[in-house]
Amino acid sequence: MSLETAMSHPLLTTAAPVTPGAATALLESYAPATDRFLATPHRTLLGRGTATPIPHDSRPPAVRVREALGALRRPGAPTPVVVGALPFAPGAPPALAVPRTVRWAPPLRRDPLIALPVPDETGRPDWQVREVPAPEHYGRAVAAAVARMRAGEFDKVVLARTLELTTGSEPDLPAMLRRLARHDPSGYTFAVPSGPDRTLIGASPELLVARDGGTLTANPLAGSAPRSADLAEDVRRAVALLESEKDLHEHAVVVAAVREALAPFCASLRVPERPTLVRTATMWHLSTTVTGEVADPATTALDLASALHPTPAVCGTPTEVARAVIAESEPFDRGAYTGMVGWQDADGDGEWVVTIRCAEAEGRTLRLFAGAGVMAASTPEAETAETAAKFRTFLHAVGASL
C-alpha cells in the first residue's frame, strides 16, 4: 500500500511561484466518493483513494490521528496526511482517512485561471425544496430560546434549520464544487466523504484553527448581516454591523471562549481588542484573527481544534446547556454540520475549518444547513432572515431558490 505526495505542502507559502492552472487542475480533477478536496487561502489539496481510515473508538480523535500518521511515517518518504471531517456531536464517528495519494497546489485565489468565465452547466436539476423546520416553526423555537435567555437560563444558542432538496437524478457534485470555488476562491471550499454513500460539500468562511510550525491562527466569526447588491446599502449594512450592540456582544462572547480554550496551549497569545469585517459573496461577518505561539511542539492542529470545538459561534454558551437546547429545538441530526473539516500531517501542522455553508449529499437528496446565533436581543424575524441569506451561498451553486 503506497502513499505519494505530488508536491510538498511546506513549500506552498505566499512566496511560492504560481503555476497557472495548477490549483484549478485539482478542482477539475475532483471525483465524488473516492476523492477529498480542500481549498484554503494558503493551499489546494486533492486526496485520492484511502490508504488508512482513522478508526472510531473511545480515544480522542487527535490521539487516533497522531497514532495513524506516526505508523505510516517512513524515512525519506513524503509526510503522511489525514483529510476529512468530524461531526458536531461528541462521540459520533468521524470521517477521516489518510488518502492513498495527495496532490498539492498553490491556493485557488492565486491561480489566474480561476477568474476565467465558465459557461453555466446545462441541465441543472429541477429541485423540489422542503424547509425543515418550516420558517414559522423555526421562529417559534427562536422565540422560546429568547424567553429562556431573558429568564437567565443561558446566554446564547445557535439554532439551525435545513433545506431538503430532491430531484429525479443524482446531483452533479463536481459541478457544484466548481461553482462554489469560483464564487469565493479566497474562502475554504471542500468536498469529502462523510459516511457510507454520503458527501459533505461546501464553502465555509471560517477557520477554526491552523498550526504552522510553532504558530497557531484562529479566526472566529460571529455577528452577521446579509450583503446587498446596491453598493450604498451594502456599505450601510457593513457599518451598522460594526456598530451593532447585539452583534458586538455575540462576537465578544465567542472571542473570549476562543482565548480561554487556546491559552493553556500557548506561550503567547495575541487577541485584537475590536473585530474587523470580512465578507463573502452573500454575508458580512464580524471577524477577529487570534494568533499565538504553541508552548509544546507535540500539540497538533487537531489538539487545538478539539479544544476549541464547539465554539459559541456554532453551539452557544454555556456549551452543555446550549447543546441540550439544540437537541430539543432542531428536528434533525446535524451530522457534520457545525463540526470541522480539514487536514493534518504527521508533523502536527494542519488547517481545520468550521463546517458551515454546506450540504450533505446522499443519493438524489441534498440537505442544506444554516444557523443563526440567538441572543436575548434576537427576534424570530431577524434570525429567520439571516438563515435564508446564508442558504444563498449553496442555493447559487445548485441552481435552486428558496
Residues with catalytic roles = 156, 206
Gap between the Cα atoms of 110 and 366, Å rounded: 30
* Phi-psi map region of 327: left, alpha, beta (phi>0 left; psi -120 to 50 alpha): alpha
Contact 51, 71 (CB under 8 A): no
Contact 117, 160 (CB under 8 A): no
Contact 35, 50 (CB under 8 A): no
Measured in whole angstroms, the distance separating CA 171 from the mean position of its chain's CA atoms is: 21
- Give me 28's grid cell: 477539475
What lies within 8 Å, CB to CB, of 340 at 6+ separation is 85, 86, 208, 305, 309, 352, 353, 354, 355
Contact 237, 228 (CB under 8 A): yes
Positions of E strands within 19-147: 35-39, 44-48, 52-53, 81-86, 95-98, 101-105, 128-132
Contact 107, 22 (CB under 8 A): no
